[in-house]
Structure 1
């Protein structure tokens, strides 16, 4: 299972990187043991680059349960760090997205797998290609490495 982590507001933490580390440390207690993780990446705010820079990364997590249960566990971790889901693409303390759950393909309601826009975003595909370059997108049939090279959103994303 692949989870994307992002933040551009550190909340009570000294930095967004510290917030992401703290969130990642809660994954095992939520029944989501981390098998691998990327470095943190930096990118301009999107869609409005005037906002705080984002920090993003990817974790490959052992799937212990159905996708909806995993998503609920991720939302619970977000809430612990003050995330309030509201306006799309708004600044946030913590954003946890379920990118893929094995090879499962699902079209809602409430959950689309694989994530419908992850393949377009370098700040997702770059970190994924760092730790799993050969991962194959369940519907596009392309590797993470190929998708990272061709991502159209967040082209400024780079590891820090």
Structure 2
């Protein structure tokens, strides 16, 4: 685990998730492989959470998820970071065939510093991350004082207000 915590006002926050291991044997192995590729798409990992587990959502009968959060340094703006994440998802076998369907790799841009954007295909901060324990829990683990750019609450405060994935816990 990296131990250099960036200025939280400038943090680029990325959430990772998987519930289909693809050729990697486990979702955790797939997520580790994805993290290893972050430098290839211009993302330097500064600090990362442990892996968390949670039931599939919205259908809990699906395969269990593994999730985590990383803070990265990125030279690109939000659109460039999102493009890098989508490229990495595709290269690692992500297929988008239905909303909230099981997936090999899900990479979400949660925040890009204090920027607030609402453009076609790009909303920053992520519009639903604050509702999800499997995002806020890992974020609070590594950066409890990170402050949501719109809600002005810390990650630690947002954990108790989550409504989705309330079963999430460290794996």
TM-score normalised over the length of structure 1 = 0.98
- Write the distance in 1 (CA, Å) between the matches of 2:108 and 2:149: 16
| Residue 60 of structure 1: how far off its partner (Å) | 0.3
1:117 matches 2:137? no
CA contact (8 A) 1:132 1:144 kept: yes
CA contact (8 A) 1:123 1:154 kept: yes
1:87 matches 2:111? no
Q: Which runs of 5+ in 1 are unaligned?
A: none
- Write the distance in 1 (CA, Å) between the matches of 2:133 and 2:25: 26
Aligned to 2:41: 30
Task: Provide Cα deviations, 1:6-65, integer angstroms capped at 9, x if missing partner.
Answer: 000000001000000000000012110000000000000000000000000001000211
Aligned to 1:74: 85
TM-score normalised over the length of structure 2 = 0.92
The equivalent position to 1:7 in structure 2, one of 18, 22, 27, is 18
**CA RMSD across the alignment:** 0.6
Aligned to 1:152: 163
- Write the distance in 2 (CA, Å) between the matches of 1:65 and 1:81: 21
Aligned residues: 160
CA contact (8 A) 1:63 1:101 kept: no
| Residue 115 of structure 1: how far off its partner (Å) | 0.1
1:55 matches 2:66? yes
Aligned to 1:127: 138
- Write the distance in 2 (CA, Å) between the matches of 1:59 and 1:40: 11
CA contact (8 A) 1:121 1:151 kept: yes
- Write the distance in 2 (CA, Å) between the matches of 1:38 and 1:3: 11
Task: Provide Cα deviations, 1:73-114, integer angstroms capped at 9, x if missing partner.
Answer: 111110111101231101000000000000000011110000
Q: Which runs of 5+ in 2 are unaligned?
A: 1-11
